[in-house]
Copies of this chain bind each other. A is one copy, B any other.
Amino acid sequence: MANKLLSISRRTRSTVYTDRVESTNIKAYTVYNHMLLPTEFESLEADYWHLCEHVQVWDVSVERQVQITGPDSNRLVQLMTPRDISKAVVGQGLYAPLCDVDGGIINDPIAIKHSDNCWWLSIADSDVKLWAKGLATGFGLDVKVTEPDVSPLAVQGPKAEALVARVFGESVRDIRFFHGKMLDFQGTEMYVARSGWSKQGGFEIYLNNPDLAHALWDELFEKGHDLQVRAGCPNAVERLESGLLSYGNDIDDSNNPFECGLDQYIKLDANIDSLSLPALRALAGKQSQQLVGLIFDQTMDFKNKKVSYNDQIVGEVTSNIWSPRFKKHLAFAMMQSEYLSNQSAIEINGIIGIITDLPFSQKVLQP
């Protein structure tokens, strides 16, 4: 379908940075967690090359934090995820798929441990707060579930470390991947982590004081001038090349973690009290479909995203884009396991594509 306008209302919430984003060459948004998420500035391709070479500042306020505090906070978080959270240290973030009693994926946040009695779930696009509240009420847990006024700003790209060090100090260079520190900005301590939704390296700054939003944005741009800093956003090209999954696009609550290649986060013999573990033990090794990569040598226009074979539907394309770097059309697809066990290629609109594991390996991407 052709691009249409997005109607803006209070329900599609602006962020603390929207004024600044609107002062750039922003072209398009999507709505994510009831909030505006920029999707394109100059063009998808120009944004992509810039991200891979320089540094970008991304308004990812849509990564809402579901804060769980109180004596039962560890218990509630562990009930929600099949990943063992018991070894997490303060300041660490864990990629933690959340699964319901049937094993379906409710969301795939980064679970950040802020103290022994405080977790933030930095969520993808679904109202995790409501699930957490329902569980807390039903189980009678001594927790408080809230959405604090926290607005993450991502700094991504190969020059991100240089820029973040100029704003927050040299100590950011010691932060390990998926770890973070409380660091000062204009008198306010905020969580700064080495993370972000690209593979170009970078940081996420969890701004916890909306009054500093413009100051933080402006200082990153002032100090990043010689690094060619620009406003950016999660980039669809970079995301697919890097094999990063998107909840709602590639995964939803009809999927279990095994289908989505998330096996590594689940230890079936873990001695933890997680709602989904019994269902996942029963599902392990029996998945009837699998998320895979597809590679085509030419640009594709998927009018119908269903994949057919001998007049049977054998899968569905969940995300796809042309890669200007590799000169290939890349796709993620949920394909029937039976088909995958017999075939290593598919045909869509008469074009043959090869099937490969995710994330894509450099070997299959290079011509």
Contacts and interface: CB of A to CB of B under 8 A. Distances in A.
Interface in A156-202: none
A246 interface: yes
Given A11-B249, A12-B30, A135-B134, A3 B3 contact: no
A10 B149 CA distance: 29
Contact of A137 (B12, B22, B138, B319): B138
Interface string A235-258: 000000000001111100000000
A327 interface: no
A9 B30 contact: yes
A27 interface: yes
A7 B29 CA distance: 6
A54 to B, nearest CB: 23
Contacts of A4: 5-6, 8, 26-29
A50 interface: no
A303 to B, nearest CB: 11
Contacts of A138: 134-140
A46 to B, nearest CB: 16
B137 A10 contact: no
Most buried by B among A31, A39, A132: A31
Interface in A1-21: 1-12, 14, 18
A106 interface: yes
A205 interface: no
A305 interface: yes
Given A7-B28, A130-B131, 4 more contacts: A9-B248, A134-B136, A134-B137, A138-B139
Interface of A: 1-12, 14, 18, 22, 26-32, 34, 39-40, 100-101, 106, 125-128, 130-140, 246-250, 275, 305, 318-319
17 contacts: A1-B14, A3-B5, A3-B7, A4-B28, A5-B6, A6-B28, A7-B28, A7-B29, A10-B249, A100-B137, A127-B130, A127-B131, A130-B131, A134-B135, A137-B275, A138-B138, A138-B139
